[in-house]
A and B are shown apart, each in its own frame.
Chain A
Amino acid sequence: MFNRRNFLQTAGAVAAVSTFNIRKASAADDLNWSIHCDLTGPAAEGGKPQGDGFTAYAKWINASGGIRGRKVNLTINDSTFKVDVAVANVKKALAQGRVDYLFGESTGMIQAISPENNSTYKSLMTSGSFASELADEKNFPYHFVTGATYGAQLQMLVDYIKSSSGSTPAKVVIVHSSTSMGRDGIEPAIKRAEELGIKIVLVQQTKFVETDVSAYALAIRKAQPTHVIHHGYSFAVWPEIVRLVRDYGMNDVVFLGTVWQNERAKMLEMKDIAEGLVGVKVWNDDTIKPAGPMMKTIGELNKAREPNFNGYARLGFLNAWMSSMMATRAFEAVIDAGLPVNGDNLANAMRAIKNWDTGGLIDVPVSIAGQQVGLGRIIKWSKSNNWDPMQLTDWMKVN
């Protein structure tokens, strides 16, 4: 019978059960990689592939002997989309011994652990965040962005608009979400546009979820732009705005978006509006026609893990893989130079990476500058190409 007494007893029992994440036993010279991502919770769609990517990489690299003979000892923690849980997990990890490399899933978490990391632990870090503020050597000297920051991405889109509009002057509307991610990079993009002589006719901020977007579409119609940039969303709000603008009969407007709005699987679900969408890609994701040996490996590993793999690696997976490759590079450089493996040496080695061949994740050699990889290219989605992203520009970097 469900009554007060039974309930209280069970509640007490549940509350009393507790375990702790113990790091697996490891050899002394193993490299400890502590990964913190959102395996569950609202961001799990991006977070789970990150976890998968690290697991796959660690297995792959350990199978060939590790990094210069030293195995990667990987621990994956679930941040559950809460910054304080993530921070607590980091502290747990640090308490269990040396952490050589750390991955954080969000801007908030990197911000939270950096003060202490900068002064005491000095672990090398990368993250799933593209926030411009994290690509800052002064405040986050041990953190590196594995792609191009949002600010860089938006500027690339602006550059593309300039180069593609030819003689007709471009009129641009920017629509972004009212999250910190959505507001990131808008200012530099506007500045860039002004420098290039492009008119930004309207900037609109929407909530991350909206009840109705008619007023936003109306404003776009009044502004009669040639291009509309969406930033700071996953797949809410902006597809509806595209539909409304098309309902208005404005079929020539080109819609552009930043990295999180450009996954092939999602485009397939939105076939009614996906035609002609332009986006930014910071890594290649095609393993069917791999651009290099590393992409081929990624394809094989994914296929082995998941028989239904459609050939296009998930963004989170690529984020993890790229992070791992960058960290490996830094470790290799430090070990080869005979230097002690610590954060300062690793960070310096990372900053010194020049003309590095990523084996197909990015088609051009990578040089790390300003704490970020900083490369991206513009692509277009079209049915005519079977929804394979069509390359519109070469890989570009923004300074």
Chain B
Amino acid sequence: MNIFSAFLEYSAVGIAAGGIYALIALGIVVIFKSSRTFNFAMGEMMMLSAYFFYTAAVTFSFGIFFGVVVAMIGSIAVALLIERLALRPMMGRPFIAIVMVTFGIGSIIRGIVGMIWGPNDLQIPAILARTPVMIGDIFIPGKTARAFAIAVVMVAALIAFLRYSRAGIALRAAAADQITAYSMGIDVRRVIAFTWIIAAITGCISGILMANVNTLTPHLGLVALNVLSVVILGGMNSIGGVLVAGFIIGWLESVTGWVLGTEFREITPYILVLLLLLVRPTGLFGTKEIERI
């Protein structure tokens, strides 16, 4: 019984942690879905949001709520800027080149942040309450549980939006077939810009959460590397898929750490991904479209 209850607890904590992974990965997936662009600057965008939050909440003492608001506005502005100035001119170019541009943008953001705020560690105030959530005997840390809830809500909202709203349908159309979407009168460029806004919002929340777990430095963007396996597992362009993939990877890491030792946490997701490639290359929920790149 003891092993079983331990297993349950590790699983629960893992799945909850997976919610955060999904939240980070969501930003990458939503952009990929609309424009086939793998945004390697996601980590840096998250980090920038956290710096905006810090400046508003701490340096200018606006407090947490307005800090978040300012961070959101700032993140959206930056995302739109990136999309318009750097990504739109690259439409139609080979995939690799676009990916390289996002790397370059990440570098630019890191550099600008380093110049303005300096390299020192900064501590930011917590935005989520710490009171734990109990499921029976199982104790889920407060921040993890709340981040999980946010992730689920955002994904559900996004799925509903995509299914039922006009903008959402336009997005799905553009994702499915850009040329036809254009010919049906859908402004694909607006759609793509819109997905960058969504990514900015999820990135903002994830960034502030990440700066809570670690400290705020210009290199916080490295955290985004942790979710590459989640993006791939979820199928790269499936919103619901990325949530499930987040849970799976979070669960896998937690249980692997318990059974094999924590040094294996990092590579088991990649081994899983490799095995999956042999069996189901499009990931769990991706559409076959991806093959054509």
Chain A residues with CB under 8 Å of chain B are 40-45, 178, 203-219, 221-222, 234-237, 240, 243-244, 247-248, 266, 269-270
Contact = CB atoms under 8 A, between A and B. Distances in A.
B213 A237 contact: yes
22 contacts: A40-B119, A45-B121, A205-B263, A206-B262, A207-B266, A208-B222, A210-B214, A211-B21, A211-B24, A212-B144, A212-B147, A213-B213, A214-B16, A215-B10, A215-B13, A215-B17, A218-B13, A218-B139, A218-B254, A219-B262, A221-B139, A235-B123
Contacts of B107: none
A214 B17 contact: yes
Given A235-B121, A237-B214, A247-B132, 8 more contacts: A45-B119, A204-B257, A210-B214, A211-B226, A212-B21, A215-B258, A236-B213, A266-B121
B262 A247 contact: no
Contacts, number: 105
B217 interface: yes
Interface of B: 6, 9-10, 13-14, 16-17, 20-21, 24, 118-121, 123, 130, 132, 139-142, 144, 147, 210, 212-215, 217-220, 222-223, 226-227, 250, 253-254, 257-258, 261-263, 266
B226 A248 contact: no
Contacts of A236: 121, 213-215, 217
Nearest to A183: B263
A40 B118 CA distance: 9
B214 A42 contact: no
Contacts of B227: 211
B141 A205 contact: no
A248 B13 CA distance: 13
Contacts of B223: 209-211
B49 to A, nearest CB: 15
Nearest to B140: A214
Which of A42, A207, A211, A269 is packed against the most chain B CB atoms within 10 Å? A211
Specify the main secondary structure of chain B where it touches its partner.
helix
B262 A204 contact: yes
Nearest to B139: A248
Nearest to A40: B119
Contacts of A206: 262
Nearest to A43: B119
A238 B272 CA distance: 28
B213 A218 contact: no
Nearest to B6: A222
B213 A42 contact: no
A7 B236 CA distance: 36
A38 to B, nearest CB: 9
Contact of A219 (B219, B258, B263): B258
Given A42-B219, A209-B214, A214 B13 contact: yes
B64 to A, nearest CB: 16
Contacts of B10: 215, 218
Contacts of A43: 119
A244 B6 CA distance: 18
Given A214-B144, A218-B9, A240 B213 contact: yes
